[in-house]
Structure 1
Amino acid sequence: MRFSVKHGMYPLKSLLILSLCLSCNGSPKERENQRSVKPNIVFIIADDMGIGDLGSYGQEYIKTPHLDEMASKGMRFTQFYAGSTVCAPSRASLMTGQHTGVTHIRGNGEFPLRDQDTIIPQLLKKQGYRTAMYGKWGLGVEGTSGSPEKKGWDEFTGHLHHVDAHYQRPDSLWTLTDGMVKKMPVPANSYGNDIFTRKALSFIDGQTEEAPFFLYLSFTVPHAELLVPQKYLDMYLDEQGDSQFAPESAWPDGRHYGGQPFPKAAYAAMVSSIDDYVGQVMAALKRKGLDENTLVVFTSDNGTHIEGGRQRSDVDFFKSSGVYKGVKRDLYEGGIREPFIAYWPGTISANKVSDHTGAFWDILPTFYELAGGSADYLNTTGISFVNELTGAGTQEKHDHLYWEFYEGGGKQALLKGPWKAIRLKVKQDRNAAIELYNLSEDPSETMNVAEKHPEIVKMMDSVMRVENTPNPLFSFDR
């Protein structure tokens, strides 16, 4: 178990130290320029998007030109993993820098971040960053220790409760005002993600070079409910107003998620809506002249879903999970391997493809290091991947990655080198048989080779047992 990360001195760190030394004697203008060494950070996360939903990852039907351009001008990761296979633990892993064998929140439900959980915006604020979040929070409702005003956010508009984020046209949103979150009405028939994007654009427009900023844009699409502004749906309808992807199986009204006559077309439209929102953010950064000093990251919180009218056949039609097995709630690759694109002109070379193996718990130490902090004493299971982004020095590698999940009888997964181990029905039997896959030969996890490699199974089992730490909320023994 690792809770600290040791790193060498990067050129970026040297620049930051030099700027601090010079700031004592430099002119106000020089000090302003020196402060701009710290990059702005924009982190954009989709909700339930599969790795195969973007053109840059092989998608053939869904139009994603802005994200594809972002990939062509930046770095596209092929082996980057979510924190979990559903939203709350995945986002908790992201924010705390801890995998689900360690972090407090390991499943969906009413489990807020604790007072002692120090997360990304809190760390970046200590480094002089302005922080803003728009969209789905899901890590603490009003009055709890995880409410946004207690966790380092200067600005917030969005959903506190993850179930509220299931609906695309909310009647109200929570907003951080005067140090408190308040529920505020929104215009009738407004789409939440349109509001989040406008808020993000306004925030960018208000920035100067006096202080760096961290913007977390947390969309609620393409999660069900499969409801999307008509202009995006029109992209996937024919001249008669029918789906281009017929036959469609309509989802009726009256269930948890709203009705949708064209689930496949609506899902494609929701992915394209994210692409348009990202394009607007990128254009705003460029207009402000902030793009060259801003790292923009795009990813998804877990694999694609089969909810609200979307069926497994739809996943197969779009190849939303790519070549990988599984969807949301699986610990197979399709449930946790995500699109991950990093864009930073002048720092990240164009058209780079990275096979670096990383996960959500790496993001906290990475962002903290970029902000000038030392990752040496962070309470994290992550590894900074600054070197992979910048090409400076040798990138440290994980020995292994670990996940656990408590729905469906309990599940564990471990990735170590080419080997992927999965144990199912853990609540029934802590010693249940382990499935073993060699991802270098079988990325689709079709051939369980556990019987051929008992020594590897034994080793993977021992690591799983070490990585699972006690938790008052989640246990495989109850």
Structure 2
Amino acid sequence: MNSIYKYKLNILLGILCLILSQKASSKALNTEQPPNVIFIFADDLGYGDLGTYGHPYMKTPNIDRLASEGTKFTRFYATGVTCSPSRTGFLTSKHPASFQKYMAFHGFSGRTTITELLHNNGYYVGHIGKWHISGNENPPIGTYGMDYIKIMGNAEDDDIGRDDDIFTEAEKFLEKRSKSDQPFYLNVWGHISHYAVDPSDQFPKEFEDVKLDASRFDKYYQKKLKKSIELNQDIDQSFRNYLGDVYSLDLAVGRLLKKLDELGLADNTIVVFSSDQGPAPVRMKPKKDPKLVANMLGWAGGLRGGKHEQFEGGVRIPFIIRYPNHVPEGKVNTTSVLSGLDWLPSLCAITKTPYSVNKFEGKDVSKVWFGEESNPERYLYWKTNSPNGSVSVLKNNWKLHYIKKEQKYVLYDLEKDKGETKDISLQHPEITKELIDKAKQWNSTLPTSYIKGEGKKNKRKSK
């Protein structure tokens, strides 16, 4: 009897252990920690301004490392051609031209933001650095759902990179959040490479042997170099100053990545690096220093245009994402056409944050981030916050612009002509008409007047 009793007892204990282990496993799966998110946003950094995106002189080993440990996209688009509109598109998943009141002065007019949604889903949300998304430069805690806000300008210390203070503050943020189990989202928005590019001497010295060979660049950039020479004859030094400025940003990114490693946060943190739009032009304005304007040598990587323009150089931006064991390492996605509008719905999908799909313009492209090569079925549009601004529209590789000076539409095939040099609208009348119709239809849904900073309305002129 004792042996039979022991036998039955062992069977019961075995079954009990199996049940308990299954429950523990199920509980572990259900309590998997949501990922943290860090969004590093450069300012006016060109599509070609990073080593990993092909710059022949730039040194960006830390950002390049981020790309090698994650995925780099070559067809990622900003939603605007200046700072505030682009940031608006990322945070609200709404096209900036749909806002009647200009966002830099009036905010988002009650529109829902990704930061608000994540906060409501249990995230601790922080913002450090440049703001430019409301007229209040001292926004209270709770603005856009943010739990921590520290707006910062360029570093005042001449011996450090001008974004160093922002990244130092971000490191402090990580140290505090590492002591909590609460997931976090953090904007780290810098000022490089916005005017004025005036780096500490130590950073251009990293490039003291560089002698600029203009033949290594495209015709658009060569024109930019000529304008720089008109303002400052020492083109090599102007060029080194720009290289040094971006290099200082890369070093700051490196310190942030190192801090993630030290705190054991790297494996469960999504890190994204991008820029708000293309590089600023070399354009002299009153009260600006000619030598500093000459330093504005951002490169669009062979694309036409830059900041303020809806050509590819103004709206195509670098986009790098790292999320260990989820995003493929060392992958370069050259086929998927993505937008800053997709930031909100994609993060909501990954973090299991509830949101109303039909309320936003972007698409959930999280599967593309995770390695799938596909394109959302849609059109992408651009227009400045002006009633008389021209509309540009993109469908896959077809790009349509309306050229006001010539009063005509032009069409480009970006697969064969990424520099937008050859108008093929006459050769492709059907796709031209389709895109013109789409542009007019979309434009008809936008405000007919816009309110800038002083509350004055700009009205659409009658045609």
- TM-score, normalised to structure 2's length? 0.79
Native 8 Å contact 2:47 2:278 kept in 1: yes
Residue 372 (structure 1) aligned with residue 344 (structure 2): no
d(CA) in 2 for partners of 1:423 and 1:106? 23
Residue 372 of structure 1, CA deviation? 0.8
d(CA) in 1 for partners of 2:116 and 2:27? 24
Residue 158 of structure 1, CA deviation? 1.7
Residue 265 (structure 1) aligned with residue 240 (structure 2): yes
Native 8 Å contact 2:162 2:199 kept in 1: no
d(CA) in 2 for partners of 1:339 and 1:277? 18
Native 8 Å contact 2:105 2:136 kept in 1: no
2:143 maps to 150
1:403 maps to 382
SS in 2 for 1:205: helix
d(CA) in 2 for partners of 1:193 and 1:422? 36
d(CA) in 1 for partners of 2:28 and 2:200? 42
Instruction: Show the 5 A alignment for 1:444-455.
Output: 444-455=419-430
Residue 92 of structure 1, CA deviation? 0.8
Equivalent in 348, 351, 354 of residue 327 of structure 2? 348
SS in 1 for 2:73: strand
Residue 84 (structure 1) aligned with residue 83 (structure 2): no
1:141 maps to 135
d(CA) in 2 for partners of 1:452 and 1:147? 55
Residue 117 (structure 1) aligned with residue 107 (structure 2): no
Which structure's CA Rg is the greater one? 2
Deviations 1:43-82 (A, max 9, x none): 0010001111111111110100111111111100010001
Equivalent in 198, 205, 208 of residue 234 of structure 1? 205
d(CA) in 2 for partners of 1:190 and 1:72? 27
SS in 1 for 2:383: strand
Deviations 1:229-281 (A, max 9, x none): 3322221235xxxx7549974968xxxxxxx9943222111111111111111
Native 8 Å contact 2:337 2:396 kept in 1: no
SS in 2 for 1:353: strand
Native 8 Å contact 2:155 2:165 kept in 1: no
Q: Which amino acid aligns with 2:147?
A: D
Residue 57 (structure 1) aligned with residue 53 (structure 2): yes
Residue 477 (structure 1) aligned with residue 460 (structure 2): yes
2:434 maps to 459
List alignment gaps of at least 5 residues for structure 1.
1-24, 160-164, 171-186, 253-259
d(CA) in 2 for partners of 1:441 and 1:110? 40
d(CA) in 2 for partners of 1:60 and 1:439? 23
d(CA) in 2 for partners of 1:336 and 1:194? 27
Native 8 Å contact 1:47 1:302 kept in 2: yes
Instruction: Show the 5 A alignment for 1:233-312.
Output: 233-238=204-209, 244-245=211-212, 249=229, 262-307=237-282, 309=291
Native 8 Å contact 1:296 1:343 kept in 2: yes
Residue 103 of structure 1, CA deviation? 4.1
Q: Which amino acid aligns with 1:155?
A: Y
Deviations 1:282-323 (A, max 9, x none): 1111111111111100000000112465779975xx7x1112
Number of equivalences: 408
Q: Which amino acid aligns with 2:276?
A: D
State the percentage of identical aligned residues: 27
Residue 31 of structure 1, CA deviation? 7.0
1:162 maps to none
1:211 maps to 182
User: Residues 188 and 399 (structure 1 numbering): CA distance in 2 closer, same or farther, change over 3 Å?
Assistant: closer
Equivalent in 321, 326, 331 of residue 300 of structure 2? 321
Residue 358 (structure 1) aligned with residue 312 (structure 2): no
Equivalent in 363, 367, 390 of residue 387 of structure 1? 367
1:177 maps to none
Q: Which amino acid aligns with 2:347?
A: F
SS in 2 for 1:347: coil
Residue 132 (structure 1) aligned with residue 126 (structure 2): yes
Native 8 Å contact 1:89 1:105 kept in 2: no
Residue 205 of structure 1, CA deviation? 1.2
Task: Specify which structure has the higher proportion of helix.
Answer: 2
Deviations 1:176-226 (A, max 9, x none): xxxxxxxxxxx7987651111111001111123511100100010011101
d(CA) in 1 for partners of 2:439 and 2:384? 13
List alignment gaps of at least 5 residues for structure 2.
1-21, 214-224, 283-288, 452-457
SS in 2 for 1:43: strand
Equivalent in 95, 105, 108 of residue 99 of structure 1? 95
Deviations 1:428-464 (A, max 9, x none): 99xx421100111111111001122222221111111
Residue 106 of structure 1, CA deviation? 6.0
Equivalent in 181, 184, 193 of residue 222 of structure 1? 193
